[in-house]
Structure 1
Amino acid sequence: MPTLFRFLFVLAVIAGIVYGSMVALVVLVEPRERDVTVRIPSERLNPAPQR
C-alpha cells in the first residue's frame, strides 16, 4: 500500500506542476496582436467549369 500512495503522490505533484505552469503562462504571457494574411489560390475561389 505505501507504494500506491507514493505513486499517487508523485502523480499529484506532476499534475500540480503542469497546472501551475499553465496558470503562469496565462497570467504572465501577453500575446502580440498582428495581422494574418492567408493566400487562397484563385482556382479554389473560381473553379474551372466541368466539361
Structure 2
Amino acid sequence: MPTLIRFVVFLAFLAALVFGSMVALTVFVEPTPREMTERIPARDLFGNNT
C-alpha cells in the first residue's frame, strides 16, 4: 500500500508540473500578431467543371 500511495503522489506531482508549465506559458509568452496572406489559384476557387 505505501508503494501505491508513493506512485499516486508521484503522478500528482507530474500532473502539477505539467499544469504549472502550461499556466506559465499562457502568462509569460506573448504571441506577436502578424498579417498572413495566401494566394489561391483561380482554378481552385471554381473547381473542375469538365
- The normalised TM-score by structure 1 is 0.84
Q: Read off the aligned partner of 2:40 and give its amino acid letter.
A: I
Structure 1 stretches of 5 or more lacking a match?
A: none
Runs of 4+ with deviation above 4 angstroms: none
Alignment root-mean-square deviation, CA: 1.1
Structure 2 stretches of 5 or more lacking a match?
A: none
- The normalised TM-score by structure 2 is 0.85
- Give the total of aligned pairs: 50
- Cα distance in 1 between the residues matched to 2:39 and 2:18: 37
% identical aligned pairs: 52
